[in-house]
Each structure stands twice: as structure tokens, then as C-alpha cells.
Chain A
Amino acid sequence: MNITDLSGQIFGYIPLGDIVLYFTPFNLFLLSIVLLFTIFIALSNTETQVEARFGTLQDREVKVDKSEFKIRRFLAIVCGLATAGAMITGDLFNFMLFTALIGIINIGLVGAVKIVDVLDSAFQYGIIAMIATLPLFGGAAIILAATGTLSLLELSNRAASPMVSFGSILIMAGIAGETGMAPFYATKAEMFRTPGSPFLLIIHLSSLLVIVRAVEVLLIIN
């Protein structure tokens, strides 16, 4: 499908050698959401979760200490920037790399919590993410073999062949595993249950935007 039909007119390119970043109204919309949220994260403090107790009227505050807070904020900003990169890239393999990077950072974000259930689900999400890199990168490689190019701007002009469709199906499976779509959403939802929002919201936002952009990419290719 033509990029202009799908996302609006192309405003411009930033060609970094092989990898061309391109801007359309759709991309810019997603990019601005991500950058806005990243700026919010950079400027915000962490929350303090308040838990009620049985038997008394006092509440218990669950806080994140300062060094952990700083590391988490840094990782959340990097996750936001990786999502921003994934939104505007015009190279298929580059998009897969950003998606895998987002997956790794999501695990790192919850790596320092002291709750065993969260660490359990982070471990299981990590295993699924590792398994999902096979269809993710393998699908991109099959599309490279079938068409000879990885550039989205070039792929939009070609008709889809069965090999390209097979590669797209593999990419869909890889995105589903990496971003935590069904049926892998259970672990990713459990990773969230730790003090330290609003940074942890980047976990959900990055997955959401990557899924939307992945649908656009697959429509461009086919």
C-alpha cells in the first residue's frame, strides 16, 4: 500500500545513509505523543503508593528510594526515546531493533523491585521476548530475501508476493510476543504492579505505540 494513502503526505526525510527517517502526519502524531510523555517522565517525581492496613486506621507508604528512582527514570526516558525512534524509522530491520530494545528496557525497568511476583513475571516476559526475536528478525530477513530491500519507502511500491506475506505473518507473531499482545499480555500486566509509576506507564505506552506502528508497517509492506 502506498504510504501517502495510508499515513498522509510525506513531509520530509532524514536520510542517515541506508536508514531513512520519514515524517508523515501519522508518524508525527505518534512521535509527539511519545516525546510529550518522555518529557513528563523527565520532569516528574515518583509516586508513593499508599496501602491500607487491617486493624488500624494508619496507612503504609511504599516508596522507592532515591537511587532506584533515578535509575528507573533514566531507563524510562531511554524507553521513550527508543519508542520515538521506532515511530519515525523507514527501515524495517531498524524498527525490529527498536522493538527488541524496548523489550529489553522494559525488563530492566522492573529489575530492581523487591517483589518476587513482579520478578517472576518479568522473567517469564523475558523468556517470551527472547523466543519472539526469532520470528521478528527472521521475518525481516525473509522480506529482505524476497524483495532485496529493507527500506519501507521502497517496499511500498512493490506488490506483495507469498514470501513477503509469510515474512509479514512471522513479524506479526514476533511483535505479539515482544510487546505482550494476547496471549502473552498476562506477564506484562503483572510486571506493572510495583511502586514507581508514572515511569512504569512507559511500559504500556511503548507497547501500544509499537503495535499501532507495526500494523502500519505491515500494511505498507503488503
Chain B
Amino acid sequence: MTGAEVLVPDVVSPTVVAIYGPAVIVGLLTALIALIGIAFKKGDLTALILTDIVGLGMLIIVAAVSTDLAEALILPGLVVELAEILVISEILMSREMRKTGKNVKLAPFPFSMNMEILETAPTFFAIILIAYGSFLTGFTGGAVAGVGILFYVISKTARGVPLHTWKGVGAISGMGWTLWLVGFVVLFVAPQLWLLGLSMSSFGILIKVASKVGLVGIIGREEFKRKR
């Protein structure tokens, strides 16, 4: 596939152009290796884990295009892959529950952590991560800030968060999400107000993701404490 006809702007160096064909072949080879792995080791759970490598092959082919648009296309491909893995693993657990007759929680928390960092550093790390995430904004900023909240919540063992606090956090998350959507609508409908749309969507998604991840941590910690 050297000499593949691709549309190339003049500013791209020939080295990068020459890599495109081999990159697509590498993506297809990765998928082939994964499929051979599925053929060798039969078994449902193994098949599920190895098909994720096929998804990786897909990402390689999409990323080989190496433009801004391709970078924007990677995220939906990744999200679709993640959603499919989640759905199929739930089907697998459902089937095993029907077959064996036992019932397990669909999201167990395998927790028993005895790490020194959980006692000495939670406040400092949480503040640093939340500040950095708020500065980043956007989806990545929300994830970083959410990890900060999550870390703080998991490490501190104080209990007794009242219920309306959880509901309030959930409501803030929903409102952040709406702000994100409205920001995008502003970008579509009135492109001359692009700074307003950009700010609304980036801060909205930051608030949404940060409080969502933190909420998961709070609910998980409460569930974990209930077992003791």
C-alpha cells in the first residue's frame, strides 16, 4: 500500500505521508493478532477482553489520518468501544447469574486499601488536582478534578453525608451538563458569539464530569462502609 492515494496538503512532510500506508497495515495486523488470540484461547471472558484489542486496531487506523478531524473522531470511536464493552460484560454477568442461580451486585467495589498515602496526603493532592482541573476545563479538566474529589472521598473515612447533599451534587452535575449543551447550541446558531459558547461548554462539562466522578466516589464509599 505504499503509494496509497491520500489527499495531502503541501505543508506535510513526505515522511509523515509515507507512514500512512504502513500505519493502516499495522492497524489491520493488530486486529489479526487479536482474532488469532481469540481463536486459540476459547472462552467467553477471554474473547471479550481480546476484542478490545480489535478496537485498538480501529483507533490506529483512525489516528493514522493524522489531522485535527481525525483527532476529533477518536473520541467517539473510543466511547463506542467503551459502551460496547460495558454492555457485553453486563450481558455476560446476567447470563452467568441465570446459569448458576446466584445473584451478585453488578458493580462490586473490591476495596481493602492499606496505603500510607491515603492518610498523609489526601487534602493536598485533592486541592492540587481540583485546581489544575478547573484551570484545564473541558472534559479532561473535569476528569482531573473528579479524580481529586474521588481521591479525597475514598481516603477520608468520615461518614454521614446527608442525603440532600448527594442530591444537590447530582443536580449540579445535571445543570453543568445542560450548560454544556447550551454552549454548543450557541456555537452552532450564533458563531459570532464563539467565546461565550466556548466558555459555557468548557465550564459546563468541567462541572458535570467533576461532580459525577466525585458522586461515584461518595456512593462507592458509602456502599463499602455499609459492609463493615
Question: Do A and B interact with each other, yes or no?
Answer: yes
- Please state if A104 and B84 are interface contacts (CB–CB under 8 Å): yes
Do residues B85 and A130 form an inter-chain contact, with CB atoms below 8 A? yes
Q: How far is the CB of B137 from chain A (nearest CB, A)?
A: 21
Look across to chain A and name the residue whose beta carbon is closest to the beta carbon of B86: A104
- Provide the main secondary structure of the chain A interface: helix
**Docked CA distance A60–B7 (Å):** 64
Report whether A123 and B69 are in contact in the complex, using a CB–CB cutoff of 8 Å: no
Q: A78 at the A/B interface (Cβ < 8 Å)?
A: no
> Main secondary structure on chain B at its contact with chain A?
helix
* CA distance in complex: A4, B27 (Å): 36
Residues of B at under 8 Å CB distance from A?
A: 4-7, 20, 24, 27-28, 31, 35, 44, 47-48, 51-52, 54-55, 57-58, 61-62, 64-65, 67, 69-70, 73, 76-77, 80-81, 83-85, 87-88, 90-92, 94-95, 98-99, 187-188
Chain B residues with CB under 8 Å of A119's CB are: 91, 94-95, 98
Question: Most B CB atoms within 10 A — which of A104, A111, A138?
Answer: A138
Whole-angstrom distance between the Cβ of A114 and the nearest chain B Cβ:
6
Q: Is the CB of A126 within 8 A of B87?
A: yes
Q: In the complex the two chains form, is B44's CB within 8 Å of A134's CB? A: no
- Residues of chain A within 8 A (CB-CB) of B73 are 93, 137, 140-141, 144
Residues of A within 8 A of B84 (CB): 100, 103-104, 107, 126, 129-130, 133
Beta-carbon contact of A133 and B95 below 8 Å: no
Question: Which of A123, A145, A162 has the most chain B CB atoms inside 10 A of its CB?
Answer: A145
Give A residues with C-beta under 8 Å from B: 16-17, 93, 97, 100-101, 103-104, 107-108, 111-112, 114-116, 119-120, 122-123, 126-127, 129-131, 133-134, 136-138, 140-142, 144-148, 150, 161-163
Question: Once the chains are docked, how many angstroms separate the CA of A122 from the CA of B95?
Answer: 10
Complex CA distance for A108 and B84, rounded to whole angstroms: 10
Partner among B51, B67, B94 whose Cβ is within 8 Å of the Cβ of A127: B51
Tell me how far the C-beta of A18 lies from the nearest C-beta in chain B, rounded to whole angstroms.
8
| B80–A101 touching, CB < 8 Å | yes
CA distance A145 to B6 in the complex (A): 5
Instruction: Evaluate contact between A137 and B61: CB separation under 8 angstroms.
Output: yes
Closest to B73 in A: A93
Whether A146 and B48, one on each chain, are in contact in the complex, defined by CB atoms closer than 8 angstroms, is no
List chain A residues, Cβ under 8 A from B52: 130
Q: Is the CB of B98 within 8 A of A111?
A: no
Return the chain B residue nearest A162 by Cβ.
B5
Closest residue of A by beta carbon distance from B9:
A148
What would be 22 A-B contacts, judged by CB atoms less than 8 Å apart? A16-B188, A104-B84, A111-B94, A123-B88, A126-B84, A126-B87, A127-B51, A131-B54, A133-B54, A133-B77, A133-B84, A134-B58, A137-B73, A137-B80, A138-B58, A142-B61, A144-B67, A144-B73, A145-B20, A145-B64, A150-B69, A162-B5
Residues in B neighbouring A123, C-beta threshold 8 A: 44, 88, 91-92, 95
- Smallest CB separation, B173 vs chain A (Å): 21
Interfacial chain A residues near B76, Cβ < 8 Å: 93, 97
Q: Are A97 and B61 in contact (CB under 8 A)?
A: no
Q: Which residues of B contact A148 (CB under 8 A)?
A: 7
Question: Contacts of B87 on A, CB cut-off 8 Å?
Answer: 104, 107-108, 111, 126
Instruction: Give Cα A127 to B73, complex, Å.
Output: 22
Closest residue of chain B to A141 (Cβ to Cβ) is B62
Whole-angstrom CA separation of A116 from B94 in the bound complex: 9
